[in-house]
Structure 1
């Protein structure tokens, strides 16, 4: 699906890494433009995450048929090579790798972003022992719909590290990355992944139905609590896994090496070094030069936007109308993050000036919520949508189309945040209103979409039988409404055939 090249940034005279993706090799010609759009959006979302354990993204875009991502060049070895060079891998090293990955995943899941393809090849061990995670957001771009297959017929991702809910095409969440972390940790401790096979389908079947071998049966020196944690991470049911990466870190913390200066300097690529000597200088590196004095900005340095300048406390009240015009211009130029900041700054002023219930404030709040969703900031969008839904329902009733739309968007936010149970409950609560609209002759598309999403959430929650029953019923209804060759029934049929094939395997 792509290649990574070493390149040179001629302007700043530095080595960088450039990843090239070929949309035509991943999606059909009709989907290539959509893939490019998702790629740019995902790069914008992932750029919001600031963590030393993530590779820095310098630039992204498209050139002819290629999508490109310009990234920090990371010195070191990927974790797969590191494991091969040090097998059997010391279990304290495995613990420190997992602890560092938990710190990264905690920051990533807070956005929220799900990596979807955490594996040793996507983890670099640097000379100072710290780890860097690669390809954040790339799997999401290639597989926004988790049931989509590439032209090769393989599911997006790596089967050896794929969670049961991914294998079944269910909704993904932070729990998906925790399962992959369990696979990775099992591999570091035992020397092999817990589920292997000669075919991708066979591997996915084992993820779904076979228990993993406890690592102490292979390496008795592994601590009992560490083995128990690996088995929890590899639970088939996401609800039986740890609740968060933070919880996993807390369970790993007692097993981390003691934070004391060792008798000798930590060796190259020693992942325990950050915990033994946190922030200590690398011994064979030259001294860091003193920081340079900040340069005086040139006279033509761009100023902050006018509305933000006016929004400062010492500059008087912001110009709400002017800020709205600027937001429209920014959205037209694709500068969504800046538009979000301006909308968030003018909403309180507009509410004070016009009243919370005024049409102006309602429109601004609706635009704010929609822009937050488009920017991938689901955690911030959720309370805005709930407030909009409650206000609209109080005035126009629960069956009001606009109130239902706000609740649908809120359910999408819950789904993106990995709160599968809450999202499923909200979808089920609003579905009857849309089905009643269908009975009166309106477009059934929204009811079908809700049922489709609910099926994926049931798969994610491990209720495969109910999910397949509901998806089969949805297939019947969509074929009757749209015909057998419409994209939705085609996708449903393919997904159900894949589930049946796994059960036959």
Structure 2
């Protein structure tokens, strides 16, 4: 797929690749019929799938069914928190063999990006985030749909502060009369760092409370960092057996009752968690911001609750005085911007032929990102990949392999196997091993 390519019939022209993973990719496209931009999500062709995908118990027919299910699920959920499905094609045509879903293009950033940018959120922002997700979950659960993969990269915040829940590809119907896509021979659905214990052990494909557990993990991370850290196996074992440190121990600014709610959402027994998304929403109401609350200039999660009809700032910067960002909690000394600048400097050093100096710079940048931004950070994964690539290109292949394997092992619990940086790491490993 290249910029300028079109779908059969010429309706959609591809403008830019927005992202992708082990099973699919998303492109920005222009709808020539209506002159609007849209997002087009593709299922990769069978020969393009990664080994991790085919090794997870999915054959290609399963993936086609899952892809069609995602289109049907998203189209059935009439809610502003779910991107609108505009079109889809499940039949290959001529040389164009890809199945695709055409969706509303949401201009904004994922919660993962926001965590990278701001490090943490304040209580009012977390309440607004979780309340919006609960509103979507209530509608989905009313239709017997369980999402099963709530995580920061699947939550998009648009310019107006509205939260969109993405990727219903592994959602299931709990109606016993409907055949499920997930079989016991397939790997556990979801992402390790956010997956409910009962889903991890395959005791159940998922219940409403499973989504609340995942949302609890996201809320916990927004206020105090990841619930558990470590390798994939260590994080899995912790979610199954260990009691998380109370969120108020991590962050004493969290109000007592909100801390109790988050801690309850993370209980191992689904029956001991809140009874549903509506209960969680009700318990969040007292933490929604007052009318005089001042949100961030960008990604203002409080806007839909404080001032939903306020015109958005103009893109040319002539909007007048914008909203003032609130104080963030324990902003790190190392930031996403400083890591990006450091990587550019290391690359410039590399290009002058000072290999050892460049490797030392990249290693120090990576360690700083790990210490301050943490392993789940997108910027940390980028720095890790850059350091491993330099090791490979300098001839230190065993060291590069060790770094790439550590990156995969420690990052996958939080971002899933389909993350684009992990995909690049796997490709490099295949090439050098």
Shift of the 253–218 alpha-carbon distance from structure 1 to 2, 3 Å rule, reads: same
Superimposed CA distance per residue, residues 288-346 of structure 1 (whole angstroms, 9 cap, x where no aligned partner): xxxxxxxxxxxxxxxxxxxxxxxxxxxxxxxxxxxxxxxxxxxxxxxxxxxxxxxxxxx
CA RMSD of aligned residues (A): 2.5
Which has the larger share of helix?
1
Partner of 2:297: 267
Specify the alignment match of 1:59 in structure 2.
87
Q: Is the 8 A contact 2:219 2:262 kept in 1?
A: yes
Select 2:191's aligned residue among 158, 166, 169: 158
Deviation of residue 6 (structure 1)? 1.3
Give the alignment partner of residue 38 of structure 2, picking from 16, 19, 35.
Answer: 16
Match of 1:6 in 2: 28
Match of 1:193?
226
Q: Identify which of 118, 137, 140 aligns with 2:150.
A: 118
TM-superposed CA distance for 1:283, in Å, is 4.6
Q: What number of residue pairs does the alignment pair up? A: 277
Cα distance, 1:138 vs. partner? 4.3
Secondary structure of residue in 2 paired with 1:66: coil
CA deviations on 1:80-133 (whole Å, 9 max, x unpaired) are 111221123212111111111111111111112111110110111111111111
> Comparing both chains, which one has the higher relative contact order based on Cα–Cα distances under 8 Å and sequence gaps of 6 or more?
2
C-alpha distance in structure 2 between counterparts of 1:121 and 1:235, whole Å: 23
Tell me, which stretches of 5 or more residues in structure 2 are unaligned?
Answer: 1-22, 174-179, 317-433
Matches within 5 A, 1:412-431: none
Shift of 1:285: 7.6
SS at match of 2:161: coil
Distance 1:198 1:186 in 2: 19
Indicate if the aligned counterparts of 2:108 and 2:157 stay in contact, CA closer than 8 A: yes
Residues 23, 144 of structure 1: CA spacing in aligned structure 2 closer, same or farther, 3 A cutoff?
A: farther
Paired residues of 1:40 and 1:61 also in contact (CA < 8 A): no
Partner of residue 276 from structure 1, selected from 290, 306, 311: 306
| 5+ long unaligned stretches in structure 1 | 287-505
- Tell me whether 1:180 sits opposite 2:214 in the alignment: yes
- Normalising to structure 1: TM-score of the pair? 0.51
Quote the residue 1:407 is aligned against.
Answer: none
Give yes or no for contact 1:95–1:252 (8 Å, CA) kept in 2. yes
> How far apart are the structure 1 equivalents of 2:218 and 2:166?
15
Would you say 1:206 and 2:234 are equivalent positions? Answer: no
Conservation of the 8 A alpha-carbon contact between 2:189 and 2:199:
no
Distance 2:243 2:62 in 1: 39
Work out which of the residue numbers 200, 225, 232 in structure 2 matches 1:167.
200
Structure 1 distance, partners of 2:155, 2:242, is 27
| Deviation sequence 1:464-486 (CA, Å, 0-9, x none) | xxxxxxxxxxxxxxxxxxxxxxx
C-alpha distance in 1 between matches for 2:152 and 2:58: 33
Alignment of 1:240-259 (within 5 A): 240-258=272-290
**Structure of greater Rg:** 1
Q: Secondary structure at the match of 2:39?
A: strand
Displaced runs of 4 or more, over 6 A: none
- Cα drift, residue 267 of structure 1: 2.2
Q: Equivalent residue for 1:100?
A: 132
Which digits, 9 at most, give the CA deviation of each residue in 1:26-50, with x for residues without a partner? 4589942344245324422431111
Cα deviations by residue, 1:267-300 (Å, 9 ceiling, x for unpaired):
22111111111333325389xxxxxxxxxxxxxx
The alpha-carbon deviation at position 265 of structure 1 amounts to 7.9
What secondary structure sits across from 2:76 in the alignment?
Answer: coil
Separation of aligned partners in 2, 1:76 and 1:267:
13
Question: Following the alignment from structure 1 to structure 2, what is the Cα–Cα distance between the partners of residues 166 and 177?
Answer: 10
1:194, 1:268 → 2: CA distance? 26
